[in-house]
Each structure stands twice: as C-alpha cells, then as structure tokens.
Structure 1
Amino acid sequence: MAIEYLGFLPVLILVAMAGVQIGLIAYAGQQAGTAARAGARSASLGESAQEGCAQAVSDWIDVDCSGASSGGDEVTVTAVVRIPRFVPGWDFGDATKTATMPLDHTDEESGQP
C-alpha cells in the first residue's frame, strides 16, 4: 500500500507545481494591468511612464513600459511583464496589457484644470 502512494507522489508534485505556475501567470497578468494603468496615469501628467510602471508593481517583477504613445488628447502605455518560471522547462513568455488615459490639460493662465 505504501509503495502505491510513493508511485503517485510524483504526479501530486507535478500537479502542485502546475497550480503554482498558473497562479504566477495570473499574478503577472494582474501586475501588467496595474503597471499599464499607472504608467498611463504618469504619462498623462507629463511624468515618466516607465517610472510609474515600476513603482506600481512588486519589487521582484520586471516590467517594461517603454512604449508610451500619445495621440490627440490621450496617451497609451503598454506594459510587458515577464512571467516568472516556477516549473523548469516551461516558458510562458510575457504578459502584455495596454491602458489609455486622457491627457491632463490645465489652463496655463490660471493654473486650474
């Protein structure tokens, strides 16, 4: 009976590792969305989109928001987060999210929005 349990143990470990990896994929996607919104907010205020993105995510997450583009009255930022690998040999690439925010316009004479 104990030998049967030992034979099933690798399957249980693989399922547990896959569960953790799925959680990391979801977390990376959530962090990419947060970074894109924060980067777009920063860029709409005339600040650095990359800095806004980096401050919005966990310290151990690598994010790239270098592709900020503005057109008309809005700015669009795309955040790319590398999905961390927990299971060796499984590579899921990047999580990519885009956010658009209106540009913050102020009345230059009065300084009021």
Structure 2
Amino acid sequence: MKRIRPGQRTRTRAPEPTQAGARAPEPTQPRPRARRRCDRGQVALEYIGFVPILLFVALCAIQLGWVAYVDEQADTAARTAARVEARNGEGGERAGRAAISGGLAEGAAFSWAATADAVSVTVTLEVTSIVPGLSLGPATATAVMPNDAPPKGP
C-alpha cells in the first residue's frame, strides 16, 4: 500500500451499506495532478526569454517598412521635381520638397542635370535607423523627364 503524505488528497472507498460494523474506508491511489510542482513558472520563464526575440523581429519589420517609405518618398520627390523643372524651367526643387511628407523634406538633397532634350533630378534622403546598431545608407532616386520648358532668352 502506498504511503500518503500529510495534506495529500486521496480517494476513499465508501463502506458497503449491507455490512454491519463496516471498517473505516481505506485510502486508494491519489489522483494524478495535471502538473508537477517543480514545473511551476516554466511558461513564464520561456516567455521572458522569448520576448526580446519577438521585439527584435517586430522592430526589424517596422524598419523594413520605414526604408520602403523613405525610398518611395525619394522617388516621388524626384519625379515631381523633374516634371516641374521640365515643364516650367524652374521651381523643381520647391515642388520636390513639397512632395515629401513629414520631416524628411529638411534633409533632402537635390541634384540636377539638364540638357536640351531631358531633365534629370536625383534626390537623396537619409534613412534613420529604428533597430539599434543597424546603419543604413541613404535612399536615392533619379527621375528623367523630357524637356518641354520653353527656351529662355530672346
């Protein structure tokens, strides 16, 4: 017969009602517990160990979205600046800066190359890093538009 420790739950057999002077019920095997006491806190420990990895993956996903956003802003600014410069002959940089949303416009660098046939504009925007320790290069976009500006001078 198995020993029962103090405080341990046991199942007992009820005495049969037909027996006169039935003995006290004998304890049977204890119920198996769902978890052992030594496993307490195991899930919390695994969760605490996994949280930094999960946060790093989330930051990398946000960083990837930010890089794509800045690249798209550079492309939009280059197309807008080249289109305005090709049609009007001036005001391309102002239009390009207006096409950039948020605080990215202050750090934008525009470079121009104009010929009689086409206008080429290159825009460079700095990509800030969200993930610690990650250094990213600038986002650069170039757009070329046919030169439709009226000729200057007499």
TM-score (norm 1): 0.86
Higher mean alpha-carbon deviation, 23-32 vs 55-64, is at: 55-64
Structure 1 stretch displaced more, 6-15 or 83-92: 83-92
Structure 2, unaligned stretches of length 5 or more? Answer: 1-42
Runs of 4+ in 1 over 6 A off after TM superposition: none
Q: Does 1:93 pair with 2:103?
A: no
Structure 2 CA distance, aligned partners of 1:79 and 1:96?
6
Whether 2:105 is the aligned partner of 1:63: answer no
2:63 aligned residue: 21
d(CA) in 2 for partners of 1:63, 1:106: 28
Of 76, 81, 85 in structure 2, the residue corresponding to residue 43 of structure 1 is 85
* Number of corresponding residues: 107
Matches of 2:97 and 2:79, distance apart in 1: 11
Q: 1:78 to 1:91 in 2, by over 3 A?
A: same
State the TM-score, normalized to the length of structure 2: 0.64
- What is the CA–CA distance in structure 1 between the aligned matches of 2:133 and 2:145, rounded to whole Å? 38
User: How far did residue 17 of structure 1 move?
Assistant: 0.4
* Residues 78-100 of structure 1, C-alpha deviations (whole Å, 9 max, x = no match): 01111122112211110111001
Give the alignment partner of residue 95 of structure 2, picking from 37, 52, 66: 52
Task: Give the AA of the match of 1:5.
Answer: Y
Q: Partners in 2 of 1:40 and 1:99 — Cα distance?
A: 6
Residue 73 of structure 1 contacts residue 103 of structure 1 at CA under 8 Å; is this kept in 2? Answer: yes
Give 2:51's aligned amino acid. L
- The one-letter code matched in structure 1 to 2:145 is M
In the alignment, what sits opposite 2:120? 76
Decide whether the 8 Å contact of 2:122 with 2:140 is kept in 1: yes
CA RMSD in angstroms, aligned pairs only:
1.7
Q: Aligned to 1:60, what secondary structure does the other structure show?
A: helix
Partner residue, 2:38: none
Could you say which residue in structure 2 is the equivalent of 1:111? none
